Amino acid sequence: MISVIISGHGNFPLALKESSGMIFGEEDNLVAVPFLKGEGIQTLQDKYNQALKDIPEEHEVLFLVDIFGGTPYNAATPFIVKDQRIDMAAGVNLPILLEALGLRAHMPLKQLLNKLKTISQESFQVCSEHLEKMKITANHEREDELL
């Protein structure tokens, strides 16, 4: 099993956890750790230490943070260097979190991270591109009906 720690600036991680709860219900081994205004990297690392204490020893741990190179990312990096059962991905959003929660019991951490890379690309969609595809499909269907 993989435990997940969501972190980011402000209340963003709390909102992600709440939103995922609306879809999946309450999840075990999912922790939101906000980085609040006025806090420093040491405070955030202390919060990470506390979150890690509550995670079962046999679990792998996935940090999902908001920004690559931001304080939540930098604060988590020493934990990853020290413990190979921990890793991190930056750029978390709700589709990524939901996918992680849905798959974390079915694959090891490295495999999950590879899957999340593809989800990130698939979840970013441009509406006008979809509308254009729909228009092209509709035109082809009309042409086929005429034949």
- pLDDT reported for residue 37: 96
- Bridge partners of 88, per DSSP, are 63
- pLDDT reported for residue 89: 96
Distance CA 97, CA 116 (A): 9
- pLDDT reported for residue 146: 65
As for how many domains the chain has, the answer is 1
- What is the CATH classification number for the domain harbouring 29? 3.40.50.510
Please name the residue ranges forming H helices in the chain.
Answer: 12-24, 41-53, 71-82, 94-103, 109-123, 127-146
> Residues with Cβ < 8 Å from 127, sequence gap 6 or more?
none
**Residue 9 annotated among the catalytic residues of the structure:** yes
- pLDDT reported for residue 5: 98
Tens digits of pLDDT across the chain (147 residues): 999 999 999 999 999 999 999 999 999 999 999 999 999 999 999 999 999 999 999 999 999 999 999 999 999 999 999 999 999 999 999 999 999 999 999 999 999 999 998 887 777 778 898 888 888 877 767 667 766
Domain with 85, as residue range(s), is 2-146
- DSSP classification of residue 54: T
* pLDDT single digits (tens) 16-32: 999 999 999 999 999 99
Active-site position among 9, 59, 106, 130: 9
